[in-house]
Amino acid sequence: MMHLICENSNQIHAVLYLPDEEQLIVQFKSGSSFYVYKGVTLDIFEEFKVAESHGSYLARNIKGRYIFEKGLSVSQHNEWKKVFWTKTEQSIVVEEEK
């Protein structure tokens, strides 16, 4: 499982990627609901992580290309972890929730 906080995005708050299920779970800043995009490969997630604009990448490469379901609340997902993405270092640091 990989999680990404999109601090510089105007649209996306956070993303969770489940590689075994090939699911990309996106929480938008406009609400607490989230969207689960199915069939998203690891390559697509890796490109998303380093995209100049996460919102633009999602619009161009994921929306309309993958089946999705809308969920109720990210806070109901026990699998979410706190993660901080440092774009300048191109690295991810994972911190377990307490």
Structure confidence at residue 68 (pLDDT):
93
Reported as a single tens digit per residue, the pLDDT across 21-72 is 999 989 888 876 688 999 999 999 999 999 999 999 999 999 999 999 887 6
Domain count, the chain: 1
* Tokens representing residue 74 in the block: 């990210």
Structure confidence at residue 86 (pLDDT):
32
Other beta carbons less than 10 A from residue 58's beta carbon: 22
SS3 76: helix
Q: Is the pLDDT of residue 19 over 80?
A: yes
Structure confidence at residue 95 (pLDDT):
36
Domain enclosing residue 44, as ranges: 2-95
Structure confidence at residue 42 (pLDDT):
95
pTM over 0.75? The answer is: no
Strands annotated E in 1-98: 2-5, 12-18, 23-28, 34-38, 68-71, 82-86, 91-95
DSSP state of 46: H
